Chain A
Amino acid sequence: MTVRRFHAEIGTAIATGALGVAAIIGASELGYGWEGHGPQAGYFPFYVGLILIGASLWNLVGAVLRHREAMARVRAALEIEEPFLQREHLGRIGTFLAAMAGFVIGTVTLGVYVSSLAYIAWSAWRQGGYRLWVALAIGAGFSVVQYVIFEVIFRIPLLKGPIEPLLGIY
């Protein structure tokens, strides 16, 4: 499957427009008018939201117009509309994103040290083609350096999970 630039433009314009709508709804709950001594709390977000909706609509219409023009050119067999993401790219991005999301879920549940060890090792092993023990060593090395920098040098505690206490690390 190929995502066309047109789809991406439309999707983004709708999303930013929706953000504007959300802001307007949120602002109107607070009141966007005037009180005795000045504008109400929703005043600023309300009008900023309005501007955002306007600009998003403009971009939406612009994307549709450009798409029409491009389609006309395609019909005239001149050129193909610029693809946004080819299948191969989509696969690469998808894998990377999935691994990243996995890392975040892992961090929230198992703590950042275990999760980054697993994530880096997985990537080196599956994608980099390193042998498993080399990959694990790279991951472990990174986690140890991370621990030393944050917890020992800067004394900033990071998220820990159920495994660190077993190793005597709090």
Chain B
Amino acid sequence: MGNFDLLMHGFAIAITPMHLMLMVGGVLMGLVVGVLPGLGAPNGVSLLIPLTFALDPTSAIILLSSMYWGALFGGSTTSILFNIPGEPSSVATTFDGYPMARSGQSTRALTLAFMSAGIGALIGVVVITLLAGWASKFAMRFGAPEYFAVYFLAFAAFIGMGSAAPMKTLVSLTTGLLLASVGMDTVTGEIRLTFGLNELLSGISFLVVVIGLFGIGELLSTVQEGLRFRGVASKIDLRDVLKTMAELPRYWATTIRSGLVGIWMGITPGGPTAASFMSYGIARQASRKGEPFGTGRPEGIVAPETADHSAGSCAMLPMLALGVPSSATAAVMMGGLMIWGLTPGPMLFATKPDFVWGLIASMYVSNLIGVILVLATVPMFAALLRIPFTIIGPMIVVICFVGGYTVSNSSFDLWLVLVFGLVGYLFTKLNYPLAPLVLAMVLGHKAENAFHQSMILSDGSLAIFFSNTLVASIMAIGIALLVLPKTLQLGSRLRRRVPVE
């Protein structure tokens, strides 16, 4: 049980007064970010990264990941109380959460959501604990071609498995790759794609892009909708909390099923949003007779929340072990890791066990803290949404721009935030997915380097990507993920003779 010893060692690192404080602080900040429109997990984490430069990497990642859990909890809170998903991944929670809250059972709805979220996260962390050692050993066998194949797999999975039109995903992905290649090329040392602009010499920071895309972009959508909050009373009654907890074991089948969906979508680059929708859909299909979904069915809350959180925590595994994040937030955190001077990938487990296992242990603790804190503070955070948008909106704008500025103290970045805000708004409105763009920006250099090195190894022959069983099977899975899902869909559509949309 090497993993178990390492985990215990991790707990020793995670449970110090300083780290517990960071967890509480991170979860609270995450709740604010999750509750407020325009601030979500990816750009909340981006905004925080410049402030973590003073911390050591272990403390920094504990702070960031705690913020992520907080944001996930916060997102569910607004979904249930206001019918406004604070996070894209909590959209599915609104379907049954809001109706249940409206019918006067808001405590029950919130408790169901938070408890299944906590259980989901726990399932995810247990999976990480069990697989971490194995995954890193597996990844030790990787050379440049294998790495490129893994990046290819990640990109392919986004295109094939994403809910958006494949060509739109491809546009988003390649745009990210191009943005990543601006500035100094690390392999050849040449200056690329700056078009004579000195500001672009050091490249475009993905943090600035994330803040623009997710922060300003989401705010613009909110403004367009003309924000009307129709909140439900949000007092938490402890007796109802306990009663709901006693009710939880009844949904064991839904919980297990959703946990599995979450694990799968978290490890492959499906991400929490896809996981929550998929899990909701499966729960609806599998449900026995009763009141229909969409009217406040408890399973309709348990399913998306469990999947959302187990996917969210499982997304950390490929990020740490392979250096391939499977959600936008994980991508941002990985970018943070690189800024702190750590290289995500199998070597991280060998060289920085304190960091890896401290993080994994902290995930157990901070999720527990998260469930307790969120139950205790829901009324307070729900009150944030009662602040008129004409005040809170501009404040969020200022926070986003200031956050963009602090990344590298450059006023050019302010304009970039503005431009990417518009891009984010347009892309969201037109169903271009944003996560692939972020992923490609973070992975762009690594993918290009891996490709470059493989090409040098093989003297320019693409056959190197099929030269041994390991790399060939990764490539084969990648190609299958790229081609199969949409082909199958098309096939079944043709069979049913439904016109293609």
Contact = CB atoms under 8 A, between A and B. Distances in A.
B131 interface: no
Interface stretch (B66-74, B287-295, B410-418): B410-418
A97 B220 contact: yes
Contacts of B451: 44
Given A26-B193, A108-B414, A156-B51, A55 B405 contact: no
A51 B436 CA distance: 15
Interface string B213-231: 0001001100110100000
Contact of B178 (A12, A45, A58, A123): A45
Contacts, number: 159
A47 to B, nearest CB: 10
B178 A119 contact: no
B174 A156 contact: no
B390 interface: yes
Contact of B170 (A55, A93, A112): A55
B242 interface: no
A132 interface: no
A100 B397 contact: yes
A19 B175 contact: yes
B430 A158 contact: no
A107 B401 contact: yes
Interface string A41-65: 1101100110110011011001000
A159 interface: yes
Nearest to A119: B394
A156 B406 contact: yes
Contacts of A97: 220, 422
B388 interface: yes
Contact of A41 (B178, B188, B224, B429): B188
Interface in B331-351: none
A42 to B, nearest CB: 7
Interface string A80-99: 00001100010011001101
A101 interface: yes
B142 to A, nearest CB: 20
Nearest to B227: A92
Contacts of A128: 388, 390-391
Contact of B174 (A12, A52, A89, A103): A52
A27 B460 CA distance: 19
B391 A26 contact: no
A67 interface: no
A57 to B, nearest CB: 9
Interface size class of B (residues with CB under 8 A): 35 or more
Given A22-B195, A104-B415, A92 B224 contact: yes
Interface in B147-201: 165, 167-168, 170-171, 174-175, 177-178, 181, 185, 187-188, 190, 192-193, 195
Contacts of A62: 165, 167
Nearest to B52: A154
Contacts of B170: 51-52, 55
Interface string A96-133: 11011101100110001000100110011001110000
Contacts of A26: 192-193, 195
A119 B398 contact: yes
Nearest to A16: B171
Contacts of B216: 100
Contacts of B448: 44
A137 B402 CA distance: 20
Contact of B193 (A45, A55, A56): A45
Interface stretch (A30-38, A71-79, A162-170): A30-38
Given A8-B426, A104-B415, A104-B418, A52 B171 contact: yes
Most buried by B among A44, A120, A124, A158: A44
Contacts of B488: none
Given A16-B171, A158-B405, A5 B224 contact: no
A89 B62 CA distance: 41
B432 interface: yes
B171 A120 contact: no
Interface in A119-160: 119-120, 123-124, 127-129, 138, 142, 146, 150, 154, 156-159
Contact of B181 (A5, A45, A158): A45
Interface in B421-474: 421-422, 426-427, 429-430, 432, 448, 451-452, 455-456, 460
B54 interface: yes
A17 B393 CA distance: 33
Nearest to A39: B455
B395 interface: yes
A92 B226 contact: yes
Given A19-B178, A51-B174, A39 B405 contact: no
A157 B451 CA distance: 40
B50 interface: yes
Nearest to A129: B390
Given A59-B167, A97-B422, A116-B394, 6 more contacts: A23-B193, A55-B168, A96-B223, A119-B394, A119-B397, A124-B394
- Sort A-B residue pairs by CB-CB distance and give the 6 closest, nearest first: A128-B390, A52-B174, A41-B190, A55-B170, A26-B193, A41-B188
10 contacts: A12-B426, A26-B193, A34-B460, A48-B177, A51-B174, A52-B174, A56-B171, A96-B223, A103-B397, A158-B405
